[in-house]
Amino acid sequence: MQIYLDTADVNEIKEYVELGLCDGVTTNPSILAKGGADIRTAISAIAKVVNGPVNVEPIALDYDGIIKEAEEYSNIGKNIVIKLPMIKEGLKAVATLKKRKIMTSLTLVFSPAQALLAAKAGADFVIPFVGRVDDGGAYGTEMVAQIMQIFQIYQFKAKVLAASIRTPMHVIELASAGVDIVSVPKSVLETMLKHPYTDAGIKKFLEDWNKKKT
């Protein structure tokens, strides 16, 4: 399972690249708006730090506008993935960008039905939103498990990139379902990494070691 960081903070990305735990990045307009820096500058900096795919979402919702922004972003680096909304204009853009050898993802996917169409349209990545499905009273990781099952039956090439991940249990349930990629905020990775028994164990070892020396 690959891990992407769901952030536009280049320092967070650098840290997790150094830990060997960042295979790619997802951004979205909300995340980029928080950063304050010029968007192109921010994306260029991220694309240099990460070896893997960097997802960037055009703001335009019309086909011509999407293609224009997609071309501008894709010039930044070979690892740029154009992240498109799961609407007709997004699907149409996938077909055009595929011909131009530009990678695409379809985002804001909230059902197996949408995921099926996104994969058939030829997107490289399909992005179901786990936490927001939970917010709506359904079971986000179960939706992703169903998507995985469908993709396996038909051997779709699209990778399932689960996003809107809020807890370590989301990650574990997605890993158990065999999801290809999870995109997580740094806060979730930090929680996954830590365990009070690890800290207690380190403390005890050091205490015992220091006793022996004195």
The catalytic site residues sit at: 83
- Contact between 7 and ligand G3P by CB under 6 A: the answer reads no
Q: Which is nearer to ligand G3P, 76 or 108 (CB)?
A: 108
Q: Using CB under 6 A, which residues numbered 119 to 158 contact ligand G3P? A: 129, 131-132
From the number of C-beta atoms within 10 Å of its C-beta (0-12, 13-18, 19+), residue 141 rates as: buried
Among positions 4, 24, 28, 74, the unique one binding ligand G3P when judged by CB under 6 A? 28
Dihedral of alpha carbons 43, 44, 50, 52, sign: positive
Q: Which is nearer to ligand G3P, 74 or 164 (CB)?
A: 164
Q: Which is nearer to ligand G3P, 101 or 138 (CB)?
A: 138
50 CB-side CA count, 13 A: 34
- Contact between 164 and ligand G3P by CB under 6 A: the answer reads yes
Q: Collapse the DSSP code of 213 into the 3-class scheme (helix H, G, I; strand E, B; otherwise coil) and give the result.
A: helix
Cα→Cα distances 108→22, 83, 127, Å:
22, 10, 6
The contact set with ligand G3P (CB under 6 A) reads 6, 26, 28, 129, 131-132, 163-164, 166
